[in-house]
Every structure is written in C-alpha cells, then in structure tokens.
C-alpha cells in the first residue's frame, strides 16, 4: 500500500452538530510547494477512491505534473483510510457514524492545506465523480483561494434522479438480514454483492453493454463483469459505503450558512476559472444538469465528452481519449 500521511484535527464540529473528538485526514503529497506557496493542486478522492487511485490523473509531462505542482491527494472522510465508520471508536463507530457533508470534508481539507502544509494559493482543484463535487465545493466555499477548477462527471448539487439511483443500491445492501441496521458482526456479503451488481448497471452506458465493451476489460460476458463487481464490493466495509453514499446524496454546495440553499448564489460566487466536463452517456451525472449549473458561473464553460463508457469514462485507461481531453482542459484553465 502506498505510504500516506495523516493530519489530525481535535474536536472537529460537523455541520450536523456532532463533535468528533479526533478527525483524521489521510493524504499524500507529490512535488514541492513553490516559494509563493501557490502552486497547490488539490485532488480529493471519489466514491470508492483513494490517494493511490488518484495517481492515474497526473504524472510527468501531463497537465498536472509533480515537477511543477504541489499535488495534495486527500482521502474522503468515510473511505476507510481517513476517519470512517470502520476505524472510529465508540460512540461514533460503525452504525453510529455521524452525518458528514462535503462542506465538512472541504473545511477539514482547508485546515490541512493552510494550517499544516502552508498553502497560500490553490492553482487547481479537480477530480472525478465525488471528487469533482468537492471541486465545486472548494470553489464556492473558499472563492478567494481557488484559481481554477475542472470537475468531471460530477455536479454542484446531487440531482433527484442521482439520489434515487443511490437509494436503490442502498436498499439492496440493507436488505441483507446480516446487515442488522449496521450492527453486523460479519460482512453482509449478499448485500454487498447486490450493491455491486446493481451499481454496474449504472456505471456503464446502454451502448457499452450493447456493443460488448466489457470484452475490452477482459470479460467474455456481461455476467462475468457483474461477478467481478460483486467480488470488488466484498472488499468494502458496508457502513463505510453507506456513510460516503449519504455524503454524496446530501451534495449541495449551497447547503450551508454561506448560501442558505441558494444554489444560483453559490454558483455565482465561484471566481475560479471553470471548465466542467461531462460524459454524454453518464447515467447519473447528466450533461443537462451541468448545463443548468454553468450558466451561473461567471466565465464558466461546459464541455461534453462523447463516450459509451458512461460514468466510468474516467476510470483507469478505459478511454485514453478522455485523459487527453482532460489534460487539454486543465492546461487551459491553468494557463
């Protein structure tokens, strides 16, 4: 496992009012902070992501390059590496883990950058899926600090349809009798497998399945792909999955005292140079939603990348053309 660092915040008060005695943010840095302390690139993690998996989005010669940038890859609260249901002591462990929002995550990340790492300016916040949602959050929550954002396959506010999709996978997991309202003594394996099987139907597009693109991934049938998703989700703690899912469902950059649920005001507050990237076939972060967002962001632009890979267009090297397009957009906002 890639070695990471930990930043501890004592008595961290969440938006829900709960005070966590000890919040741990796990993170890893790459490159060096420049003399002006303003070349930071923040890479939050996505739903089942980690700082290791973010390493596929930067590198030598790429738009985000540790030779030029100070890259901070930060694990989402609830992902099993930062503070999570699976690693938190009583009374907040397991099924009793409190509600955590993206606002909470970004406030903790801000403390890491400014109080611990000495960052005075953020050149870019970017990321896929929930990481992209945090890009919006950063730009609205700290508009004077962030110079550019490139969220991809993400949104500023979780749509109702996206929320409904997540209700489906959540219900499948909770239906396992072994789940016991989160108080399981052994993993609810049938629920975890159902979660993964349903999720796979949303992660890729109809065209992906019709054209048999699962063969590109090494599977000879759609069923083989589903079995792989089942096995992958057996590696996850159920309460961790649900904690992050709840954070995702509550995603709304305006749901705080800064904007009082006025989404247009929150979007209008963004001063960062912004390019939003959607995927034509993403089944839950729809291009139409991004179009409605970008009209409120001064100077913002929406680019829709056409691909049958759907939401998973940005995962690994599924669609190398996407990574080329992503780098092109990042270079533009950072120019």
Domain ranges of the chain: 5-158+250-334, 162-245
Query: Whole-angstrom Cα distance, residue 133 to residue 157?
Result: 8
Determine the average pLDDT of the residues in 15-40.
98
Please name which of 171, 160, 118, 178 lies closest in space to residue 250, comparing C-alpha atoms.
Answer: 160
Q: pLDDT of 119-146, one tens digit each?
A: 999 999 999 999 999 999 999 999 999 9
| pTM of the predicted structure, to 2 decimals | 0.97
Confidence of residue 335 (pLDDT cuts 50, 70, 90): confident
Per annotation, catalytic residue among 50, 82, 129, 307: 129
pLDDT of residue 1: 46
Q: pLDDT digits over 308-325, tens only?
A: 999 999 999 999 999 999
| CATH number 3.40.50.261 is the correct assignment for the domain at 5-158+250-334 | no
Q: What is the pLDDT of residues 267-299, one digit of tens each?
A: 999 999 999 999 999 999 999 999 999 999 999
Q: What is the pLDDT of residue 2?
A: 65
Whether 129 sits among the annotated catalytic residues: the reply is yes
Fold agreement (5-158+250-334, 162-245): no
Q: Is the dihedral of CA 17, 164, 169, 212 positive or negative?
A: negative
Query: Mean pLDDT in the chain?
Result: 97
Average pLDDT over residues 206-214: 98
Catalytic, out of 104, 252, 255, 282: 282
1.10.1740, 1.10.1200, 3.10.420, 2.60.40: which CATH number matches 162-245? 1.10.1740
pLDDT over 70 at 225, yes or no: yes
Provide the percentage of residues in the chain whose pLDDT is more than 70.
99
DSSP conformational letter for 113: I
311 is catalytic: yes
Q: Is 186 among the residues known to form the active site?
A: no
CA atoms within 13 A on the CB side of 286: 12
Q: Work out whether the CA dihedral 223, 228, 229, 231 comes out positive or negative.
A: positive
Alpha helix ranges (H) inside 211-312: 222-233, 238-249, 263-268, 287-294
């Amino acid at each position: 496992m890639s070695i990471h660092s930990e930043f501890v915040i004592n008595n961290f008060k969440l938006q829900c009012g709960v005070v966590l005695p000890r919040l741990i943010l796990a993170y890893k840095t790459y490159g060096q902070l420049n003399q002006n302390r303003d070349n930071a690139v923040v890479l939050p993690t996505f739903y089942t992501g980690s700082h290791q998996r973010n390493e596929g989005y930067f590198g030598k010669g790429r738009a985000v390059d540790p030779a030029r940038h100070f890259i901070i890859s930060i694990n989402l609260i609830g992902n099993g590496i930062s503070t999570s249901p699976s690693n938190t002591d009583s009374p907040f462990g397991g099924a009793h883990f409190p509600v955590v929002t993206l606002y909470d995550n970004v406030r903790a990340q801000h403390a890491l950058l400014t109080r611990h790492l000495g960052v005075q300016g953020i050149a870019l916040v970017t990321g896929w899926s929930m990481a992209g949602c945090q890009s919006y959050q950063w730009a609205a929550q700290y508009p004077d600090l962030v110079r550019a954002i490139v969220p991809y396959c993400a949104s500023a506010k979780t749509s109702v349809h996206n929320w409904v999709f997540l209700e489906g996978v959540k219900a499948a997991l909770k239906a396992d009798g072994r789940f016991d309202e989160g108080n399981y003594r052994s993993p609810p394996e049938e629920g975890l497998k159902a979660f993964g099987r349903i999720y796979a139907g949303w992660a890729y597009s109809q065209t992906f399945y019709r054209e048999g693109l699962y063969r590109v991934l090494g599977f000879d049938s759609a069923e083989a792909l589903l079995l792989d998703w089942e096995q992958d989700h057996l590696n996850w703690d159920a309460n961790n999955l649900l904690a992050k899912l709840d954070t995702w469902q509550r995603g709304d950059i305006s749901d705080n005292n800064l904007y009082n649920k006025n989404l247009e005001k929150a979007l209008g507050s963004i001063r960062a140079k912004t390019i939003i990237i959607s995927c034509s076939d993403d089944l839950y972060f729809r291009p139409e939603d991004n179009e409605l967002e970008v009209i409120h962001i001064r100077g913002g632009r929406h680019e829709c990348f056409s691909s049958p890979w759907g939401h998973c267009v940005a995962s690994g090297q599924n669609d190398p053309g996407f990574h080329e397009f992503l780098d092109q957009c990042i270079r533009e906002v950072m120019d």
